[in-house]
Amino acid sequence: MSEPSLPAPGAISRPGPEGSTVTRTMCPMSCHPTLCGMLAQTRDGQLQSVQGDAANPDSRGFLCIRGQASREIFGNPDRLLQPLMRARRDAALEPASWEAVLTRISASIRASAPQATALWPGHGTATTDYGTRINGQLMARFANFTGAQFWSPPMVCWGLGGFGLGLTGVLETNTKEDMGEHSQLILLWGANLASQPNTARHLIAAQRRGARLVTIDVRHTEAAAKSDEVLLIRPGSDAALALAMMHVIIRDGLHDAAFIDQHTLGFEALREQVRDLSPQWAAGQTGLAATRIESLAHSYARTRPAMIVLGGSSMHKGDNGWQAARAIACLPGLTGQIGVPGSGLGPRHGSAAHGRGLGNISAPEKRVPGTAMPNQMSSITQALREGRIDNLLLFGCNMLSSFADSHAVAEGLRRTHLVVSHDLFLNDTARAHADIVLPATAWLEELGCKATHTHLYLMPRVLAPAGQCRSVLAILTELARQLQLQGFHPWADEEAMVDAALDHPATGHATVAALRAEGGMRALKVSPVAYPTYRFDTPSGRIEFFSARAQALGLGALPGPGPQLAKADEDYPLQLAQGRTLAHFHGFYDNGRALPTLARREAEPHVWLSPADAQARGISDGVAIRMSSARGELFGRARVTDKIPAGSVWLRDGWPALNRLTRGDAILPDAAVDLFPFSAGQAHYGAAVQVQAC
């Protein structure tokens, strides 16, 4: 088996200085809705430099420290360049041939029941296909052909929030360009610029027009620094704030009766539901003064058009993740602020603009009914612990860092007969649990295509794979050949496979050849405004304040505050929240430690702690600390800052030790997690913690 041959340079490459070639591509990270254009300069088969692509209409030349650091993948002494294997878990990983490792994997799959093999992809597989899901679709295709499990990654990310939005019926989002041109008030609700820096330009444009920015978050973020007003609330209290805003809007007659009558369902029941959920009640939940909640509700209802930019992932990772999204999603319906420019919900990780679509290459018709486990994180962990998964193929992920309750995950991985890790670098999961490690191609060594909310971008293959590295496509195609999966790769070549994945009216039925001829980018045929036809994503076609689907699932038909699951108490009095920083992205690159630029920025976990909480514990800024929950402990360094209120602590996600603290139990019933085309089976990431100086 060999990698496909290099494509001839096309219109998206041009001669660079001193015999080099400059090729238009995209940053390998996937900070969706931000994806950034990149120019890669290569010579003699080596990467010389990367820089932002000023011609990219989404990023306009921006390339952050993470994007700049991606050049350090090439020539990196820690990069995996050949397969590794070990006979026993307590033995060292040793170099092995591709033939040996793939033969062992296919033999183990053949020897197991079909449903006892599982594929779990992380963000690392989306470096060349975020928004087009080519690798994800290939893995799903492999699972459909074999009867294996393929678990959907939004369950570690935005899926639970998406569930709340989906119940209400507002999954589509307006574009950042629409926001910049039209919104008069923008609520950045758990949304931060570290996660979507390309939104910043449009926020500033809106501010210059006179729009007001308000940040609602658990800490003072990069977005807060640009906002006109900042409301810091307790982790898990977002739903309470939204419900109290609805109370004020209805009480003061600021709702849009005509819109409610024509386009929503269940207003009278909602009115009853929020009757007692006053700003005074929410003050006790959120830590905000009741007057500020009143003022926010008035401002949102009276300013037109107003938009809510909702956090993609972090705000859904604690208590009440889906109830927060469910309640917040009712606000545009209550005020008639949706379906017109500048309104509704703004750009969000994992969301799509109206009209968006893709070709389907996952072969769902091949699936044998009844063999798929639900996309439920706690059930997956349980299946591993009970030895029901024989073969676990991990692609571009560090499961110990991304799954809640990593103690339980580690126990499950120990019981799994064969664990395979495909990645650029070793990570914690691979070091401790992988029987086989497969070296992965980097983004410049693959053909790919990414999509933002508005554009499609070709990512040509410009370098030969380093060492013996191989792509997801190459590995699955060879495994399919060994397993005799007829028709797994029916396309003439890799380009034809990508063409099939892109084949949809929204892309203008784009092909690799057409994109190459167009300079590597094409505008999608989508609406900048969500729900322009006022047909919403619910059975009734209306915005559902009252959801019969939720009721049938035993979740309560109406939005509510939800239970507090990770309760602070005397032993663990602080509420843990997590998020993203500008210098790191989840557990990528062995938690950033493999790339020198990122490793220098943050070599260990930094725990944000308020001055009051620090003083009460005799902790000063920069000292070594131990953070513990009822489940485990994490060692790091204190960052004492007034940017977080007393009672809360925060650190960035991706540190494996972080999920030794989190709970990992199910939030939704199994019947609910696959209600939508994305997985909502996120386990509970919340934790009440204590922090002590070491």
Residues at the interface with ligand SF4 (CB under 6 A): 27, 29, 31, 34-36, 63-64, 66-67, 197
Distance between CA atoms of 278 and 396, rounded to whole angstroms? 46
Q: How far is the CB of 467 from ligand SF4 (least distance, A)?
A: 24
Nearest to 331 by CA among 344, 318, 347: 344
H, E, C per residue of 163-195 = HHHHHHCCCECCCHHHHHHHCCEEEEECCCCCC
Residue with smallest beta-carbon separation from ligand SF4: 67
Of 297, 275, 339, 270, the C-alpha closest to 537 is 339
Tokens of 118: 């599982």
**For 198, which DSSP code?**
G
C-beta of 35 vs 418, nearer to ligand SF4: 35
Residue (129 or 435) nearer to ligand SF4, CB: 129
Whole-number minimum distance, CB 25 to ligand SF4, in Å?
Answer: 11
Closest to ligand SF4 by CB, 56 or 108: 56
We find the least distance from the C-beta atom of residue 66 to ligand SF4, in angstroms, to be 4
CB of 634 to ligand SF4, least distance (A): 25
Q: Which is closer to ligand SF4, CB of 67 or CB of 164?
A: 67
Please say which residue, 124 or 339, places its beta carbon nearer to ligand SF4.
124
Please state, in angstroms and rounded to a whole number, the distance separating the CA atoms of residues 148 and 139. 10
Task: Give the shortest CB-199-to-ligand SF4 separation in angstroms.
Answer: 10
Q: How far apart are CA 582 and CA 600, in angstroms?
A: 13
- CA neighbor of 123 nearest in space, from 382, 495, 399: 399
Distance in Å, CB of 354 to ligand SF4, minimum: 24
Partners of 689 in the β-ladder: 574
**Nearest residue (CB) to ligand SF4, 61 versus 622:** 61
Distances (CA, A) of 240 to 30, 279, 372, 533: 31, 9, 36, 31
Cβ 70 to ligand SF4 shortest distance, Å: 7
| Residue with Cβ nearer ligand SF4 (126 or 475) | 126
Smallest distance, ligand SF4 to C-beta of residue 31, A: 3
What minimum distance in Å lies between the beta carbon of 381 and ligand SF4? 29
Rank residues 127 and 343 by Cβ distance to ligand SF4 and give the closer one: 127
Using the minimum distance from each CB to ligand SF4, give the nearer residue, 50 or 239. 50
Closest contact distance (angstroms) between CB of 453 and ligand SF4 is 14
Please state, in angstroms and as integers, the Cα–Cα distance from residue 13 to each residue in 7, 448, 485, following that order. 11, 15, 37
C-alpha triplet 231, 233, 235: angle, nearest 5°: 145
In whole angstroms, how close is the CB of 51 to ligand SF4 at the nearest point? Answer: 11
DSSP secondary structure string, 450-490?
Answer: EE-SSEEEEE---SPPSTT-B-HHHHHHHHHHHTT-TTSS-
> For residues 128 and 690, which CB has a smaller minimum distance to ligand SF4 in the complex?
128
∠ CA 175-443-476, nearest 5°, is 105
Q: How far is the CB of 501 from ligand SF4 (least distance, A)?
A: 21
Cβ-contact 640, 611 below 8 angstroms:
yes
Q: Reduced to 3 states, what is the DSSP secondary structure of residue 135?
A: helix
Residue 501 vs residues 243, 457, 510: alpha-carbon distances, Å: 41, 14, 9
Least distance in Å: CB of 462 to ligand SF4? 18
- Residue number with CB closer to ligand SF4 (167 or 194): 194
| Torsion of the alpha carbons at 219, 223, 226 and 231, rounded to the nearest 10 | -40
Neighbours of 407 (CB within 10 A): 16
Nearer to ligand SF4, 66 or 247 (CB): 66
Distance between CA atoms of residues 455 and 466, nearest Å: 30
CA dist., res. 556 & res. 320, Å (int):
13
CA distance 504 to 511: 10
Q: Which is nearer to ligand SF4, 259 or 588 (CB)?
A: 588
Least Å from the CB of residue 34 to ligand SF4: 5
Burial level of 15, CB count in 10 A (0-12/13-18/19+)? exposed
Quote the tokens at residue 491.
């396309």
| Cβ nearer to ligand SF4, comparing 127 with 610 | 127
Length of the chain measured in residues? 694
Classify residue 148 as exposed, middle or buried by CB count within 10 Å of its CB (0-12, 13-18, 19+): buried
